[in-house]
Amino acid sequence: MGRLFGTDGVRGVANADLTAEMALGLSVAAAHVLTDAGGAEGHRPVAVVGRDPRASGEFLEAAVVAGLASAGVDVLRVGVLPTPAVAHLTGSLGADLGVMLSASHNPMPDNGVKFFARGGHKLADELEDRIEAVYREHANGRPWDRPVGAGVGRVRDYDEGFDTYVAHLLAVLPHRLDGLKVVIDGAHGAAARVSPEAFARAGAEVITIGARPDGLNINHECGSTHLAGLRAAVVEHGADLGIAHDGDADRCLAVDAAGEEIDGDQILAVLALAMKEQGTLRNSTVVATVMSNLGFKLALEREGIRLIQAAVGDRYVLEELKRGGHSLGGEQSGHVIVLDHATTGDGTLTGLLLASRVAATRKPLAELAGVMRRLPQVLINVPEVDRSRVATSPRVADAVLDAERELGETGRVLLRPSGTEPLVRVMVEAAELEQARSVAERLADVVKAELG
């Protein structure tokens, strides 16, 4: 029996893998693990519940709310808001837990249940395992200890959540956006209202695309995984920059005035220099993942900034930030965590901070992002191989050593077994694209021959 929790909550096809019964049961289990429900006398636990606009979120929200209330938890239902907004409200309202219903950048049929602990923090593996154990125990027949009468949870809509979150974003913005024209792609998702509102209140002229969610169109040919529409809109409107979110708006990618993509590494580089200048880049350190471009590392080194590389996944970036007392980290995909202002990746905050830097310096985004040069990167997925033997195969190890000698200090090799599929990812960076492609193909052939 596989683990229910993945890298970011419990996720699957709504009403097939992720049913109303499962959402209800998980919520009751989370209430028992994360709160004093059924425990401390006189304490009434509180949960913040939000969702993205996908259609299945409507019935899943009802199931989650029912589960929490049946466990004696009072529920503040904040409606459609980004994941980082739910995290922020969980902390600012002193709630015992938060629940977000979203499958992030996944297609519309998928959905997910994501829990936050007190303070709005993502759960450690140990807490997820405890919730899953309690859920399975009761799913197998053990009855719940249910409150009755006045002990059941009360449910109310918390409409103030929208303005509270936007006010928080504006309060931490170092420079207003007056004079900037910005195109925002909301991915027909959770940020379709919030992000344009925040940018407009900060002074920007805002043009929106992907801002008409109907429950079925989330992430469909828009947002951070489909930048073509944003590129075209920025050029058409003569905008200074464009911002793209994913379905739950915990990530942000950008395009410059010419419509060229600015990825998560480049955004991190721009923010790192801004924070160093402002004295807020603690320990002169940035945390990223092993997938970050070598050009990013080289750019930080030139600026006297240290790079720590964590495993792939924003939760591992967050763990390293907390462990070392650092303030900035993120992923190439656009998950950026500014720990002084957010407990998780926040796409709207990231976009605002990036635009704020453009406004403050009066430099085009392309010039600011030019602090780093992305080295050509080639990624090949080698399927149907034994990923467990990547680290133990002598021939694979020799092939990697040969590749590293050929590339020298201007290139990099990474072989990474997939965490979810029977394949090995071969990634090569080099000064020239052809060299990166040649080396990657050669390594992929060795991996296939030795591990297939």
Residues catalogued as catalytic: 104
Instruction: Read off the tokens for 444.
Output: 């992929």
346 in a labelled binding site: no
8 in a labelled binding site: no
Instruction: Read off the tokens for 413.
Output: 């090799």
Centroid of chain to Cα 139: 30
3-state secondary structure the chain: CCCCCECCEEEEEECCCECHHHHHHHHHHHHHHHCCCCCCCCCCCEEEEEECCCCHHHHHHHHHHHHHHHCCCEEEEEEECCHHHHHHHHHHCCCCEEEEECCCCCCCCEEEEEEEEHHHEECCHHHHHHHHHHHHHHHCCCCCCCCCHHHCCCEEECCCHHHHHHHHHHHCCCCCCCCCEEEEECCCCCCCCHHHHHHHHCCCEEEEECCCCCCCCCCCCCHHHCCHHHHHHHHHHCCCEEEEECCCCCCEEEECCCCCEECHHHHHHHHHHHHHHHCCCHHHEEEEECCCCHHHHHHHHHCCCEEEEECCCHHHHHHHHHHHCCCEEECCCCCEEECCCCCCCCHHHHHHHHHHHHHHHCCCHHHHHCCCCCCCEEEEEEECCCHHHCCCCHHHHHHHHHHHHHHHHHCEEEEEECCCCCEEEEEEECCCHHHHHHHHHHHHHHHHHHHC
Axis crossing angle, helix 347-361 with helix 83-92, rounded to the nearest 10: 100
As beta bridge partners, residue 116 has: 98, 122
How does 225-241 read in b/e, with b if 16+ C-beta sit within 10 Å?
A: bbbebbbebbeeeebbb
248 in a labelled binding site: yes
240 in a labelled binding site: no
Instruction: Read off the tokens for 452.
Output: 């297939």
As beta bridge partners, residue 112 has: 11
The rounded distance, in Å, linking the Cα atoms of 170 and 333 is 24
Give 47's Cβ-side CA count (13 Å radius): 36
The rounded distance, in Å, linking the Cα atoms of 60 and 254 is 32
Which residues are annotated binding-site positions for Mg(2+)?
104, 246, 248, 250
Which residues are annotated binding-site positions?
104, 246, 248, 250
